[in-house]
A and B are shown apart, each in its own frame.
Chain A
């Protein structure tokens, strides 16, 4: 027994150290580049750190406007800490997410222990599988809010579960759940749904005399933590993101196809179909174990969110979950499993691994249930060895897909090139740049990040209407004039007569335009594959004016 405990502790430490390595290794270089959302988070955190205001000049916002998404603020505020220590850099933007990822490992281990439905070694296996799961590692290595929100959501669930045995934990559970709503959009819906369902499912515990006081105290704390959100509850900022992602267009298109039915029947039918399709896709083995997320920026080449072999224990775990659904722990897992995809199912993106990250927890619990079943058979040592061998094979697959292929073939997707572009801009302090923003993500924030543009400069550029009506003015314009840099479409009737360096992607400036307007190549930035990310051309206004004058003559 004691030997077992020591082995388990030792194995857990090894897994934790390995998990930390997977989340830390080359964090600055992989993913290769800085995505625009990371740049936005990092720059705004830096701006608040230096000036107390975000890029729009809003003092300590309750939700960060960014590009009109009004993201809950906690991640950005926490990012101020690594930025203050390591300065504004790719690494400092990703640190909070990385630390969340590492902290999730012991949390999952505790989940597996405290649910008390797994054997000791199954808990170790489950922790290992979580540690090496692509889903977990991927979002631990990007500067997004999602992983921190997942950490707090899991903390809330874990302490809530413990609260069924020891009421004082209910206060913490409710506090953590509420805090998660201040981090990411998905949790703003999911946490409330989870709380509601939890109350219904476990009401016989929660309304007992010894639980009531702690539970209601926790509920008050839950509501107090929501105050910042209440303050902007009736503003467009509260709903812009959700409404923007909801598939109302798709529902109307589908309802038109069944126009034989009255509107009161066709629209609900179309909505039900769309929601059911999206919802079911989050349980599909094809999406969980084989096919990567269709968004290249949210996926790893040739790898889904779990490894293919995990399908078998998943299937067995699902079967056991249904079979013994009356067990409180299984009820709890089932509840999480069915709730987690709901926020993501209300958006049009097919199998969004980002918005459905909370599904990672119940899926790992279910997979571990399946593995636990294998370990109950006589040949359990064979199964144990098989799981270990498959884990090693999985790790090799992960290294191939994430550490080798991703930084090479997805660099452009991850904003590779902006750092190099910033260096080229710095080399030419007297030049005037026009960055064509027709097909690229918002360039202004990437350049502001890498050039470390003083926040007050960006704040000065902002329309006063945005500052004064911050939570109502949701329309976002991607035109920016940062002094020496303008981000807009190239005006081929005016820009060629001025002294500019025109910068765009491979389609922005054609050979015909280069010849016609006497443009000279200035520099070219290529991604690791060799594809052009940016090409820059200097205008020749004198020659152009001469040529235009000749034509008129």
Chain B
């Protein structure tokens, strides 16, 4: 497990947590406590009280995520979407052929242009946006979402650390995976229209980044001839450089 100071540096060393601090101090506090509790839960066996507190905090954060998100309907079309739908219905009668006849015959047109397909598509959109790493490390770039006020949540230099952490860490994998999947499920249902972003996932991202950083630091121990502090300085300088870049972009 990474040392606590590493997790704290990553927790406080990103634009995202400070944006949350600026806009909603209570959520900021919740996230700090929850991240530390998550760290403790992973590192050692926790008492019953701490477990209850952990789940209370998790549920509270989920509720706040729900409350602060502007929910978009899963089935209602806006004016422009209705216009497109009307145009598409005409497509099935333009230049009729066997495929279109089959679509009519088996009511496939009604399914694809109907409410159920709209719901499925929107759930897919919410899901794939939740798991898109570009949204967390590049502010959605190069496929930014105009409506979402995307911002670079973590410096892009932390991305490799996140991926390494994701691939290498196995401690309480099932527990972590279950909680993360639940959070992704919630975000899939409620969507992403939130000035603070999907902060429900912030603690997990911080944890995996710190796992990855710790793996790198451990790996540098193999180079006996070079003191580890030099690697630490290089890593911190690189991190500082990218943090300056993140703050500059955010401002």
A269 contacts B91, CB within 8 Å? no
Is residue B55 within 8 Å, beta carbon to beta carbon, of the partner chain? no
Given the complex of chains A and B, what is the CA–CA distance between A16 and B88 in angstroms? 31
B142 contacts A281, CB within 8 Å? yes
A404 and B159 in contact, given A269-B242, A302-B121, A409-B91 (Cβ under 8 angstroms): no
Contact of B91 (CB < 8 Å), options: A285, A291, A404 = A404
Interface residues of A in 283-316 (CB under 8 A from B): 284-287, 289-291, 294, 302, 308, 311
Is residue A399 within 8 Å, beta carbon to beta carbon, of the partner chain? yes
B241 contacts A269, CB within 8 Å? yes
B241 contacts A291, CB within 8 Å? no
- Chain A residues with Cβ under 8 A from B91's Cβ? 404-405, 408-409, 528
B245 contacts A269, CB within 8 Å? yes
A404 contacts B156, CB within 8 Å? no
- Chain B residues with Cβ under 8 A from A29's Cβ? 95
Annotate A222-263 by CB proximity to B: 1 below 8 A, 0 otherwise. 000000000000000000000000000000001001101100
Q: Which of A85-93, A271-279, A372-380 contacts B (4 or more CB under 8 A)?
A: A271-279
Annotate B154-188 by CB proximity to A: 1 below 8 A, 0 otherwise. 00100100000001000000000000000000000
- Chain B residues with Cβ under 8 A from A308's Cβ? 124, 128
B103 contacts A400, CB within 8 Å? yes
A273 and B156 in contact, given A284-B134, A294-B143, A404-B91 (Cβ under 8 angstroms): yes
Contact of A351 (CB < 8 Å), options: B95, B129, B143 = B143
- Chain B residues with Cβ under 8 A from A404's Cβ? 91-92, 99-100, 103
Interface residues of B in 71-107 (CB under 8 A from A): 87-88, 90-92, 94-95, 97, 99-100, 103
A260 contacts B244, CB within 8 Å? yes
A257 and B248 in contact, given A286-B128, A396-B108, A409-B91 (Cβ under 8 angstroms): yes
- Chain B residues with Cβ under 8 A from A294's Cβ? 143
A400 contacts B112, CB within 8 Å? yes
Summarize B's interface: helix, strand, loop or mixed: helix
Is residue B138 within 8 Å, beta carbon to beta carbon, of the partner chain? yes
Annotate B108-137 by CB proximity to A: 1 below 8 A, 0 otherwise. 100010000000010011001101111001
A351 contacts B159, CB within 8 Å? no
Chain B residue at smallest Cβ distance from A258: B248
Contact of A281 (CB < 8 Å), options: B125, B134, B245 = B134
Is residue A514 within 8 Å, beta carbon to beta carbon, of the partner chain? no
Given the complex of chains A and B, what is the CA–CA distance between A276 and B249 in angstroms? 16
A261 contacts B100, CB within 8 Å? no
Is residue A201 within 8 Å, beta carbon to beta carbon, of the partner chain? no
Given the complex of chains A and B, what is the CA–CA distance between A307 and B124 in angstroms? 11
- Chain B residues with Cβ under 8 A from A285's Cβ? 128, 131-132
* Shortest distance between the CB of A99 and any CB in chain B (Å): 23
Is residue A451 within 8 Å, beta carbon to beta carbon, of the partner chain? no
Q: Interface residues of A, CB < 8 Å — how many?
A: 44
Is residue A350 within 8 Å, beta carbon to beta carbon, of the partner chain? yes
B94 contacts A408, CB within 8 Å? yes
Is residue A164 within 8 Å, beta carbon to beta carbon, of the partner chain? no
Given the complex of chains A and B, what is the CA–CA distance between A311 and B143 in angstroms? 19
A273 contacts B138, CB within 8 Å? yes
- Chain B residues with Cβ under 8 A from A26's Cβ? 97
- Chain B residues with Cβ under 8 A from A284's Cβ? 132-134
Given the complex of chains A and B, what is the CA–CA distance between A287 and B92 in angstroms? 27
Given the complex of chains A and B, what is the CA–CA distance between A502 and B87 in angstroms? 30
A258 contacts B244, CB within 8 Å? yes
Is residue B141 within 8 Å, beta carbon to beta carbon, of the partner chain? yes
Chain B residue at smallest Cβ distance from A403: B99
B138 contacts A280, CB within 8 Å? yes
Interface residues of A in 1-26 (CB under 8 A from B): 26
Is residue A529 within 8 Å, beta carbon to beta carbon, of the partner chain? yes
B138 contacts A277, CB within 8 Å? yes
Is residue A265 within 8 Å, beta carbon to beta carbon, of the partner chain? yes
Is residue A322 within 8 Å, beta carbon to beta carbon, of the partner chain? yes
Q: Interface residues of B, CB < 8 Å — how many?
A: 36
- Chain A residues with Cβ under 8 A from B88's Cβ? 405, 408-409
A281 contacts B248, CB within 8 Å? no
* Shortest distance between the CB of A336 and any CB in chain B (Å): 19
- Chain B residues with Cβ under 8 A from A270's Cβ? 245
A290 contacts B138, CB within 8 Å? no
Given the complex of chains A and B, what is the CA–CA distance between A47 and B63 in angstroms? 67
- Chain A residues with Cβ under 8 A from B242's Cβ? 269
* Shortest distance between the CB of B135 and any CB in chain A (Å): 8
Most chain-B CB neighbours within 10 Å: which of A257, A290, A404?
A404
Interface residues of A in 346-373 (CB under 8 A from B): 348, 350-351
A286 contacts B245, CB within 8 Å? no
* Shortest distance between the CB of A549 and any CB in chain B (Å): 48
B137 contacts A280, CB within 8 Å? yes
Chain A residue at smallest Cβ distance from B140: A277
* Shortest distance between the CB of B76 and any CB in chain A (Å): 18
A280 and B159 in contact, given A269-B241, A404-B103 (Cβ under 8 angstroms): yes
Contact of A276 (CB < 8 Å), options: B124, B156, B167 = B156
Given the complex of chains A and B, what is the CA–CA distance between A44 and B94 in angstroms? 33
- Chain A residues with Cβ under 8 A from B87's Cβ? 408-409, 529
B134 contacts A277, CB within 8 Å? yes
Given the complex of chains A and B, what is the CA–CA distance between A273 and B154 in angstroms? 12
* Shortest distance between the CB of B164 and any CB in chain A (Å): 11
- Chain A residues with Cβ under 8 A from B90's Cβ? 408, 529
A290 and B125 in contact, given A322-B167, A351-B142, A528-B94 (Cβ under 8 angstroms): yes
Given the complex of chains A and B, what is the CA–CA distance between A71 and B89 in angstroms? 40
Chain B residue at smallest Cβ distance from A290: B128
Given the complex of chains A and B, what is the CA–CA distance between A285 and B248 in angstroms? 29
Given the complex of chains A and B, what is the CA–CA distance between A403 and B141 in angstroms? 31
- Chain A residues with Cβ under 8 A from B134's Cβ? 277, 280-281, 284, 286
- Chain A residues with Cβ under 8 A from B125's Cβ? 290-291
Given the complex of chains A and B, what is the CA–CA distance between A396 and B121 in angstroms? 15
B133 contacts A280, CB within 8 Å? yes
- Chain A residues with Cβ under 8 A from B141's Cβ? 277
Contact of A286 (CB < 8 Å), options: B92, B131, B244, B249 = B131
B132 contacts A286, CB within 8 Å? yes
- Chain A residues with Cβ under 8 A from B137's Cβ? 280
Annotate A516-531 by CB proximity to B: 1 below 8 A, 0 otherwise. 0000000000001100
6 contacts across the A-B interface (CB closer than 8 A): A261-B245, A281-B143, A285-B128, A351-B143, A407-B95, A408-B94
Where the two chains meet, the residues of B that have a C-beta atom closer than 8 Å to any C-beta of A are 87-88, 90-92, 94-95, 97, 99-100, 103, 108, 112, 121, 124-125, 128-129, 131-134, 137-138, 141-143, 156, 159, 167, 241-242, 244-245, 248-249
In the A-B complex, the 4 residue pairs with the closest CB atoms: A350-B142, A408-B91, A286-B128, A277-B138
Where the two chains meet, the residues of A that have a C-beta atom closer than 8 Å to any C-beta of B are 26, 29, 254, 257-258, 260-261, 265, 269-270, 272-273, 276-278, 280-281, 284-287, 289-291, 294, 302, 308, 311, 322, 348, 350-351, 396-397, 399-400, 403-405, 407-409, 528-529
